[in-house]
Amino acid sequence: MPFDTMTFCYPWRSYQRRVLDAVHEHLSDQLLHIVAAPEARKTTLGLEVFRILKKPTLVHESLLVEFQ
């Protein structure tokens, strides 16, 4: 799916918005580490970062864990 057709349909949480607003500053050294509590939507945030940067991305289902 092309990145320009993707959008996140919910409001970003305040900590997510801070990361997204400063994503280029955070990537000045070509590294980005996202550390947050379980259920903090890190995968969603990461996908948005890749969408902003227009970089190819693969999320494998074995990496996604559903907490019961």
Token code pair at residue 26: 């955070």
Q: Which domain does 49 fall in, by range?
A: 3-63
- Mean pLDDT calculated for residue range 45-67: 71
Residue 68 lies in a domain: no
Residue 21 lies in a domain: yes
Question: Global pTM?
Answer: 0.68
Residue 20 lies in a domain: yes
Ramachandran angles phi, psi of 63, nearest 5°: -85, -15
Contact criterion met (CB below 8 Å) for 33 and 19: no
How far does CA 44 lie from the centroid of its chain? 5
pLDDT for 67 beyond 60: no
Please give the tally of structural domains in the chain: 1
Q: Burial letters for 16-44: b for 16+ Cβ neighbours within 10 Å, e otherwise?
A: beebbeeeeebeeeeeeeeeeeeeebeee
Mean pLDDT score across all residues of the chain: 78
Contact criterion met (CB below 8 Å) for 20 and 46: no
